Amino acid sequence: MKKSILYLSAICILVACSTMKTAELSQQDVDKVKPLYPNYTLAELKEGKTLYSEKCTLCHSLKNPTSESSKKWPHIVAEMTNMANEKTLTISPKQEDLIIKYLVTMTTTSK
Ligand code: HEC
């Protein structure tokens, strides 16, 4: 009985941590790229992050969003999308766009 409570609280802590990570994204991040993406929303930023962790882990581990410059990301993501689509791991143009915006936002806000 005691053990199961322990497990349960461990799971709760894990869940709390993972939700905290997505909560790190804020309206402030969106505001920083307003000049680039005038109609960008926080929901789109979060969706981009989710897509990034889903789609960009199909062939290799997740790269650090700040490992490349905001200028380079669109080219890299386009290249990766082509490679994925060749292997029928489909990344749609809409998803590609959200991933690029997420990565560009992360590189822009980290400076
Ligand atoms: C179809 C498999 C595949 C998918 C899906 C994929 N990658 Fe890659 N990625 C590779 C391979 C293979 C390399 C290393 C060889 C190369 O660079 O061509 C690589 C290398 C990279 C590099 C290192 C820099 C570079 O240009 O070599 C980055 C950054 C990167 N991927 C980001 C991403 C991102 C972001 C996504 C999601 C949009 C993604 N990858 C999805 C296969 C993939």
The predicted pLDDT at position 34 comes to 94
Phi, psi angle pair for 59, to nearest 5°: -120, -25
Ligand 1, pocket residues at CB < 6 Å: 55-56, 58-60, 63, 68, 76-77, 80-81, 83-84, 87, 89, 99
Distance CA 69, CA 51 (A): 19
For ligand 1, atom 15, the nearest C-alpha belongs to 80
Model confidence pLDDT, tens digit, residues 35-88:
999 999 999 999 999 999 999 999 999 999 999 999 999 999 999 999 999 999
For ligand 1, atom 9, the nearest C-alpha belongs to 80
User: Which segment of 2-6, 10-14, 67-71 scores lowest on mean pLDDT?
Assistant: 10-14
Residue 108 pLDDT level (bands cut at 50, 70, 90): confident
Distance (Å) of CA 59 to CA 55, 56, 80, 82, 99: 9, 7, 10, 13, 16
The predicted pLDDT at position 110 comes to 62
Please check whether residue 100 is in contact with residue 74, taking contact to mean a CB–CB distance below 8 angstroms. Answer: yes
Question: What are the boundaries of each domain within the chain?
Answer: 26-109
Of all residues in the chain, what percent carry a pLDDT higher than 90?
75
The predicted pLDDT at position 24 comes to 83
Is a pLDDT exceeding 60 seen at residue 111?
Answer: no
For ligand 1, atom 14, the nearest C-alpha belongs to 60
CATH architecture of 26-109: Orthogonal Bundle (1.10)
Phi, psi angle pair for 70, to nearest 5°: -65, -20
Structure tokens belonging to residue 110: 């980290």
What residue type is 26 in one-letter code? Answer: S
